[in-house]
Homo-oligomer: A and B are copies of this chain.
Amino acid sequence: MKKATIKDVAREAGVSVATASNALNNPSIVRPRTREAILEAARRLSYVPNANGRRLRAKETRTIGLFVHVMLGDFYGSLADSMNQVCRANGYELHICIVSDMESIYRKLMDHSLDGAVIYWDDVDEESGRKMIACDCPLVFLSLDLHGPRTSCIRFESLKQGRMAAEYLYGLGMRKFLHMFGLPGNYDSEKRCEGFLQVLEDRGIPRDDVTLLEGRFERAVAYREMRRYLHEGRPLPDAVFAANDLSAIGCIAALNEMGWRVPEDVSVMGCDDIALCEYFTPQLTTIRTHFQEIGTRAAREVLRLIQGEPGRLLTQDGVLVVRKSCAISQKKNGKP
């Protein structure tokens, strides 16, 4: 069966298309009796407006984009769900785009499909950043340092988070560290690492007593790296700080496999506070980055920019959540 157009509705109701359109979008300006007749006709014909016609003419899509390179993982799922809630509540649709290159983002930003977008993307080079900002589509970058008149960014306080981790572990008496680094070039990775090292340096820990491995934020990679490290017979650290919870879990799996207990033999700490932390054994000590809130804030921020407000920089604080995966160092307690 052919789908009804507004022309069909107008004919069915015996009015012009202009009036039909007004009855549907601007009900207050059409006489109640006429309006009812039109609405009734629309119902009878199962009329649903053609979104392409509407968008082409109205130059507005009431759609917000979310660009990510992958959807698997608590972080992305939360981000999408929370953004979606804010969008719906404000009469916008969320359009999630999983893309693998910046050119695709750029084209989508240019093709009039979106009124605004949130972009979560590692290492946007300067030229691409400029191009995207020049689209003059309201933009919110996550975890990146780009802003402009119609562009905001929201950053995790990753430097602080790294510092918090180091301070906590040092306070527990730890002196030999391993940091399961995230992804090179990733803003949060670099900052977490930088903050972590800063504090240890201030406390006088020799640089040789801090090992860096690259876990790429992935459980499997962290597991493999940790396993290789232990297999090489390198010294067991007092404490491990992983760039995210998933890689902390990978570390623990490798440690357990080699017969080490967490936290009795080694303390391990994550970052993010995904739901699993509480259910994992041992319950994971971590830094809660409130990543669920990022989606809410990001969506509100795009809406704000669409409203014409200027771009700005926002930050998202973290907080230490102490559970069971770190213990007071035996060494501090007097034992060797």
- What residues make up the interface of A, taking CB atoms closer than 8 Å to B? 1, 3, 46, 48-53, 55-56, 61, 70-74, 76-78, 80-81, 84, 88, 93-98, 100, 106-107, 110-113, 134, 136, 219-220, 223, 249-250, 252-253, 256, 275-276, 278-281
Contacts and interface: CB of A to CB of B under 8 A. Distances in A.
A71 to B, nearest CB: 4
Given A53-B56, A74-B72, A256-B281, A48 B136 contact: no
Nearest to A109: B48
A46 to B, nearest CB: 7
B3 A52 contact: no
A250 B223 contact: no
A249 B279 contact: yes
A250 to B, nearest CB: 7
Given A52-B52, A56-B53, A249-B279, A84 B98 contact: yes
Contact of A281 (B72, B93, B281): B281
Query: Within the oligomer, what is the number of copies of this chain?
Result: 2
7 pairs of A and B residues whose beta carbons are closest in the complex:
A72-B77, A48-B110, A52-B56, A96-B96, A71-B80, A51-B111, A84-B98
A46 B110 contact: yes
Contacts of A81: 70-72, 98
Given A51-B113, A96-B96, A113-B51, A223 B71 contact: no
B96 A80 contact: yes
Contact of A52 (B49, B112, B275): B112
Contacts of A106: 48
Nearest to A282: B281
A70 to B, nearest CB: 6
Contacts of A249: 276, 279
22 contacts: A1-B134, A1-B136, A48-B106, A48-B110, A48-B111, A50-B112, A51-B112, A52-B61, A70-B77, A72-B77, A72-B80, A72-B81, A80-B98, A81-B98, A93-B97, A94-B98, A219-B275, A249-B279, A250-B279, A253-B279, A276-B276, A280-B281
A50 B279 contact: no
Contacts of A49: 111
